[in-house]
């Protein structure tokens, strides 16, 4: 597995210009188990887990003007502008002591993907795609009820629709480059992680 994911040559003014990093994109629908598996990868393989959603939620609670805009967009089930998310990801990567990152839930669409590569000068080493049937994801989301205001059936269905329309082209793009590892995420957690481990090993 190549570790030099990007030497950031093309990155004009990227905050990451002096840092060589390995980036793995973790994609999958809401409720496909990305967060659980990322926690396992962190424990076993020493990656730093950056969740685009968590970074956006933290920013939204920070009271900044970006935060208010993010809050309204998330409530509507809309995708936050790429630049905002990329800046948050970049900042987190620069502030981290680590040089191996799992980026979870991003890029959300083709525009995100292109913007991430041009802003940071980084291409992912590979993409981990958690493939899970919609009925299963719906069942999991309604069951977890973590008090997130976007975990109700109406918003969930909106999120599925947005996810399908926007994320699949990203997966297809990287698939054409031979960078996608597709994981059957409907299986029990341990079996899913066994498949994940095989990819990292």
Residues annotated in a binding site for ATP: 31-36, 144, 187
Contacting residues for 68 by C-beta, under 8 A, at least 6 apart: 60
Structure tokens at 183: 């994981």
Nearest 5°: the CA angle 189, 195, 197 is: 100
Q: Report d(CA 192, CA 194) in Å as an integer.
A: 5
**Among 31, 35, 15, 25, which Cα is nearest to 133's?**
31
Query: How would you classify the pairing of strands 180-184 and 126-131?
Result: parallel
Binding site members for CMP: 112
Q: Report the binding-site residues for a ribonucleoside 5'-phosphate.
A: 57, 78-80, 105-108, 148, 159
Binding residues: 31-36, 57, 78-80, 105-108, 112, 144, 148, 159, 187
Q: What is the dihedral of CA 190, 194, 199, 201, to 10 degrees?
A: 120
Q: Two tokens at 1?
A: 């597995």
The single residue listed with the structure tokens 């003007």 is 65
């Amino acid at each position: 597995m190549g570790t030099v994911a990007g030497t950031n040559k093309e990155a004009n003014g990227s905050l990451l210009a002096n840092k060589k990093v390995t980036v793995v994109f973790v994609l999958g629908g809401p409720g496909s188990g990305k967060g659980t598996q990322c926690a396992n990868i962190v424990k076993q393989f020493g990656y730093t887990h950056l969740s685009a959603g968590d970074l956006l939620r933290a920013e939204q609670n920070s009271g900044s003007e970006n935060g208010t805009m993010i809050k309204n967009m998330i409530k509507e089930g809309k995708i936050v502008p790429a630049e905002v998310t990329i800046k948050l990801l970049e900042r987190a990567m620069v502030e981290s002591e680590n040089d191996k990152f799992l980026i979870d839930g991003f890029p959300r669409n083709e525009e995100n993907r292109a913007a991430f590569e041009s802003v940071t000068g980084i291409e992912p080493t590979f993409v981990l795609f958690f493939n899970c049937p919609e009925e299963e994801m719906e069942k999991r989301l309604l069951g977890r009820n973590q008090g997130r205001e976007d975990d109700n059936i109406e918003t969930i269905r909106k999120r599925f629709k947005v996810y399908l329309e926007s994320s699949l082209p990203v997966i297809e793009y990287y698939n054409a480059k031979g960078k996608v590892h597709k994981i059957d995420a409907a299986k029990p957690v341990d079996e899913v992680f066994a498949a994940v481990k095989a990819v990292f090993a």
